[in-house]
Structures are given as C-alpha cells and as structure tokens.
Amino acid sequence: MTARLMRRRSLIASAGLGALALLITGCGDDKPAAPPPKGASAPLFAKLPRQYQDSKVIKVGSNVAYPPMEYFEKGEKTPTGVDPDLAKALAEQLGVQLQFQNADFDGLITQLQSKRIDVIMSSMSDNKDRQTGIDPDTKKKIGPGLNFVDYFNAGLSILVKKGNPQGIKSLDDLCGKTIALQQGTTQEQNAKDQQKKCKSAGKPELKVLSFKQDPEALLQVKQGRAVADLNDFPVAAYNAKTSGGGDDFEIAGQQFDAGPYGIGVRKDDTQLRDALQAAVQAIIDNGEYRKVMDKWGVSQGALPKATVNAGT
C-alpha cells in the first residue's frame, strides 16, 4: 500500500537489509545475552492475548535504515534508535521480548496482514488511508486496514544540499526540478500531489526519483542528480547534523503536514492493540518515554497521551 501522511524516512547508516529477525536486546557477538522476559510478573502481561503470553515474543516489522528512529550502527547487528529504545521500555511493561524483523518499508503492511509479523514499528504514519485500507491514488479498497497506537508526532521536511543552492523554501519551489524519495512512504504521495499542483498552476513538471531505501535517495541529492529529498523532520534533522560532519545537507524552510507515527496492528487483533496502548501510556507516565525522547533529541515530537487512530 502506498502512504499518505508519512513513513517519513531518511538515511545515514545502513547495513544488511534482508528480512532478518533481530532481537532488539542484544544480538551482536560482543554483547551480553538478552535478559529473559519478565512474563507474568510484568505490569501489563495479563493484558496480552494468550498467544503472546505463551510465546513471550511479539515480532516487530521494521525497515531498519532510518536514523535516528531505527538503524544499525556500523558493524552492529542490533537495531538502535528511538523505536528500538521505546520497544525495550514497552517490553518491560508487557513482559515479553519485542523482536525486530528487518524488511523493505513498502512490504511491511503485506507482511503484517499475512501474519509473518505481529506489529509494525517503523516510523509509520497513522492516517485514514492506512486505517481503512484505501489506496490513496485510486481511492479503492485494497485491504482491511490497520489500527494504530500513536506514540510520536512528526512533520515533513525538505532536505537539500548544504547552502541550499537552489533557494528552495517550499514544495512550490520544486516545480521544474527533480527530487528523490523512498518508495511506499507518505512523501511519495506528497510528491504526486505537488506534481498535480505544478501542472494546474502552469509550472514546469516536478520529476520524482523513487528508491527502495532512503539512503539511495539522499545519495541522489548529495551527487546533484536531485535537488531535494522529502523526509520526516526528525530524520531530516539528524541527517543535516551528521552526514559529512554536518556539511552535506540542510533543511529548507519549515516542517509541515505534521501527524502521528503509530504502531501498526491488524484490525482483528484488538486485545494486542489495547495492551500496546496501555504500555505506551505506562512509559509516558513513568518517565521512560521522556528519557528516550531526550536521549535522541526528538522531544519536539513527544506526545502527552497514547491514542489510537488519531491520524487524519
């Protein structure tokens, strides 16, 4: 399914993007073994469906190439970032392990519906098209849709070369130019909408290069084949700060079109949805959520309450 309000995605560290199951708490050779799940002694264990109580595992689908939200440090096999750290805190509340399974972003919803994974936690934007299973291009029903437990808020940013040589300040400035982005993200739909806007205004065509992974899109900007990459604000800010020691990119203009990221859950898995919502609220209340936000410098995206399907 294509997107509407963001997976908003970006680059800098990528490694081994096969569909490889990874325990979020320690898979590297030099790391300590993951501690056993708390099980029934955890505060919210009883809220989980029996199948997860029995297996002590929730399989989490994610595209682990999106710093600072989820990515691999060079040479590491264990995911790091905002989402893995939040998942660790959720695991403490639920008493089970959250296993990250790495896959292409645009295939995550299919994997969830086919039950190869249990949930999606991959900076995926909660929006009405994804909730209802509607293709944003054709407006036709293509699936049962998802429920989302919302846990973060992010807007869209335009990432350009350092110095902004094209003087880009808004999407309207992209008419007649070439941009790059990741397939299956909300940015893809933003670009299609802007293409129509350019055409209706009688302006030159906006050309779009789309790629499986955001690092590929960012490379196009760095090498001058595209003037901008559309991305989520926290990811764009991270790349502007870290890529090339801060000399490769900068954010053009202000972020816009803000909306929530959600943990995607199958429509019929309502008990798991409710357990996850309770767990997110628990870590907000006990301060662990704020610690993760502060650690990664993304406090501007913090939510005060765990909601369900709040995206529009």
**Looking at the domain assignment, is residue 8 inside a domain?**
no
Do 113 and 26 belong together in one domain?
yes
**Looking at the domain assignment, is residue 83 inside a domain?**
yes
pLDDT above 60 (res 3):
no
pLDDT above 60 (res 30):
no
Do 47 and 119 belong together in one domain?
yes
Question: Rounded to an integer, what distance in angstroms lies between the CA atom of residue 233 and that of residue 255?
Answer: 6
pTM for the whole structure: 0.78
pLDDT above 70 (res 9):
no
Instruction: Please state, in angstroms and as integers, the Cα–Cα distance from residue 78 to each residue in 29, 32, 33, 85, 239, following that order.
Output: 10, 12, 12, 11, 21
* The one-letter amino acid at 1: M
Do 181 and 37 belong together in one domain?
no
Q: Higher confidence at residue 31 or residue 284?
A: 284
**Looking at the domain assignment, is residue 110 inside a domain?**
yes
**Looking at the domain assignment, is residue 14 inside a domain?**
no
Phi-psi region for residue 139, left (φ > 0), alpha (ψ -120 to 50) or beta? left
Q: 222-238, pLDDT tens digit by residue?
A: 999 999 999 988 889 88
Do 92 and 167 belong together in one domain?
no
Do 162 and 279 belong together in one domain?
no
Q: 247-273, pLDDT tens digit by residue?
A: 999 999 888 888 999 999 999 999 999
pLDDT above 90 (res 160):
yes
User: What CATH number does the domain containing 113 carry?
Assistant: 3.40.190.10
Domain that holds residue 64: 21-154+259-308
Domain count, the chain: 2
Annotate 133-187 with DSSP letters as a single string.
Answer: TB-TTT--B-S--EEEEEEEEEEEEEEEETT-TT---SGGGGTTSEEEEETTSHH
Q: 112-150, pLDDT tens digit by residue?
A: 999 999 999 999 999 999 999 998 778 889 899 999 999
Q: 33-71, pLDDT tens digit by residue?
A: 566 788 999 999 999 999 999 999 999 999 998 899 999
